[in-house]
Structure 1
Amino acid sequence: MPKAIYRSEYEVFLTLLRDRRTTAGLTQVECSKAMGRPQSFMSDVERGTRRLDIIQMHDLCKVLGCDLVELVQDFVSGIRAQE
């Protein structure tokens, strides 16, 4: 099985994060700043060059104003829609 970053599911995840950020009305810079990270943080995440651990995902959800469990459910729905 290929590494996660090369699988189609990872693109679903990245698209979901971008959509959540734009729905929240935040730029990459604003989102990075709210997390106390450098400007390039969200750019790297959304391009798939930086991966998030569960704690960072929880923090990101707070910034985006969404629920982590809901985000995961939407991710699973997105994968199923590809099948």
Structure 2
Amino acid sequence: MPKTITSPLQKKLATMLVELRKKAGLRQIDLAEKLGVYQSWVTHLESGQRRVDVVELIELGRIIGFDPADVVRKLNKR
């Protein structure tokens, strides 16, 4: 099993989060401000340099406007 930070699943999640953010009309800086973090945190998240835990996924869903369960279902499809 590959380390999760470099796994294909992690990369797929990062790509999905970028698409969802853009679809919501948010820039990285906008998302960072809503989350109360630095833009670099969002950059690392979206580039796959940092993992997303379940609580963060729920918070991202609340702010961006997606259902975290739907994201997980899509990730689970191969």
Compute the TM-score of the two structures, normalised by the length of structure 2. Answer: 0.88
1:59 aligned partner, one-letter code: E
Distance 1:23 1:76 in 2: 22
Say whether 1:11 aligns with 2:20. no
Q: Where does residue 29 of structure 1 map in the other structure?
A: 29
Stretches of structure 1 that go unaligned for 5 or more consecutive residues are none
Using the TM superposition, give the Cα deviation of residue 76 of structure 1 relative to its aligned residue in structure 2, in angstroms.
2.1
Kindly report which structure 2 residues correspond to 1:2-81, keeping only aligned pairs within 5 A, or say none. Answer: 2-77=2-77, 80=78
Shift of 1:6: 2.0
Matched letter for residue 12 of structure 1: K
| 8 A contact 2:32–2:38 mirrored in 1 | yes
Distance 1:19 1:76 in 2: 18
Shift of 1:14: 1.0
Separation in 1, partners of 2:54, 2:73: 15
1:34 counterpart letter in structure 2: K
Deviating beyond 4 angstroms after TM superposition, the runs of 4 or more aligned structure 1 residues are none
Instruction: Give 1 or 2 for the bigger CA radius of gyration.
Output: 1
**CA–CA distance in 1 between the matches of 2:8 and 2:51?**
15
Structure with more relative contact order (C-alpha pairs < 8 Å, separation 6 or more):
2
What is the root-mean-square deviation of aligned Cα atoms in Å?
Answer: 1.2
**Shift, 1:75, TM fit:** 1.8
Q: Cα offset for 1:44?
A: 0.9
